């Protein structure tokens, strides 16, 4: 399975310097982006070539995130091995990677299943994400550069281009979430940025449920436009307060969708 060339990964500085280092187009330009799952599995730094294990992991993860594999669906190793024309060994390794990423569950005598979705799981993931945001958002508010602000404006502009198209609802929420990952990456704490990628991977399925109509997407776009204005103020408190309010609204929409789907 050949892979397209990917721009060199960006290693964030401990604190953003007065003049930011060059930002690779891979993360800076929303139009030049990989699949949603691959980006998060490799923390925004996908290697130029992937092992067989990683190719299988990316393919299965994409199906899970896009819900082409339904929550709690059985994943049979032999079926994947036949599909990819490999032995079961790299398939098992790929599923172990996805289990570590929180996308599948494995148990003896039960096999491997897509991780189930529930309101309780969603609430735990959001609470964890908020704890992380309370660290990286203030850092970014105070240390971001004009280049960072320009990148976020690109993301918001790209969201605006597709906000009215239901067929691109997932692309819209993926861009919104990727912008948050960009902020975490540039805030300077690499461990938090990597953890955010993992949490984001698990939350995408949930957040996509809460932006299925144009009204929901327009509201989120407006809040992102306000986020960019708050970032320009370089004041952590208004930015964090706005983020928490936005997160609460997204939780309400997503919980309602989960309840309707139950």
With beta carbons less than 8 A apart as the criterion, state whether 170 and 66 touch: yes
pLDDT per residue rounded down to tens, the chain (262 residues): 444 333 333 333 333 333 333 444 445 555 444 588 888 998 877 777 889 999 999 999 999 999 999 999 999 999 999 999 999 999 999 999 999 999 999 988 789 999 999 999 999 999 999 999 999 999 999 999 999 999 999 999 999 999 999 999 999 999 999 999 999 999 989 899 999 999 999 999 999 999 999 999 999 999 999 999 999 999 999 999 999 999 999 999 999 999 998 7
* Same CATH fold assignment for domains 52-114 and 118-261: no
CATH architecture of the domain 52-114 equals Orthogonal Bundle (1.10)
- Please state which CATH number belongs to domain 118-261: 1.20.120.530
> Which string of b and e fits 90-121 if b means at least 16 CB within 10 Å?
bbbbbbebbeebebbbeeeeeebbbbebeeeb
* pLDDT score for 39: 86
CA distance 92 to 56: 10
What crossing angle do the helices spanning 190-209 and 119-143 adopt, rounded to 10°? 130
Give the number of other CB atoms < 10 A from CB of residue 250. Answer: 22
* pLDDT score for 46: 75
Nearest to 211 by CA among 243, 179, 164, 178: 164
With beta carbons less than 8 A apart as the criterion, state whether 76 and 111 touch: yes
CB within 8 A of 201, min separation 6: which ones? 37, 40, 41, 61, 65, 101, 102, 103
Enumerate the domain spans of the chain: 52-114, 118-261
* pLDDT score for 34: 57
CA distance 10 to 142: 20
């Amino acid at each position: 399975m050949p892979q397209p060339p990917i721009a060199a990964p960006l290693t964030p500085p401990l604190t953003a310097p007065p003049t930011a280092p060059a930002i690779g187009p891979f993360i800076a330009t929303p139009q030049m982006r990989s699949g949603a799952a691959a980006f998060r599995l490799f923390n925004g730094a996908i290697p130029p070539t992937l092992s067989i294990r990683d190719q299988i992991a990316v393919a299965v993860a994409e199906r899970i995130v896009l819900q082409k594999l339904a929550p709690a669906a059985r994943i049979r190793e032999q079926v994947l091995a036949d599909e990819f024309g490999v032995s079961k060994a790299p398939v098992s390794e790929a599923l172990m990677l996805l289990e570590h990423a929180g996308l599948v569950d494995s148990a003896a005598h039960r096999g491997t299943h897509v991780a189930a979705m529930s309101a309780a799981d969603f609430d735990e993931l959001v609470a964890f994400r908020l704890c992380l945001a309370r660290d990286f958002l203030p850092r970014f508010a105070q240390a971001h550069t004009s280049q960072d602000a320009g990148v976020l404006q690109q993301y918001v502009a790209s969201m605006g281009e597709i906000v009215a198209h239901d067929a691109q609802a997932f692309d819209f929420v993926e861009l919104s979430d990727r912008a948050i990952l960009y902020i975490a990456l540039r805030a300077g704490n690499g461990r938090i940025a990597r953890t955010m990628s993992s949490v984001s991977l698990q939350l995408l399925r949930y957040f996509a449920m809460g932006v299925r109509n144009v009204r929901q997407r327009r509201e989120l776009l407006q809040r992102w436009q306000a986020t960019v204005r708050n970032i320009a103020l370089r004041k952590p408190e208004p930015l964090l307060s706005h983020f928490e309010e936005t997160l609460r609204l997204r939780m309400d929409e997503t919980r309602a969708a989960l309840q309707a789907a139950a």
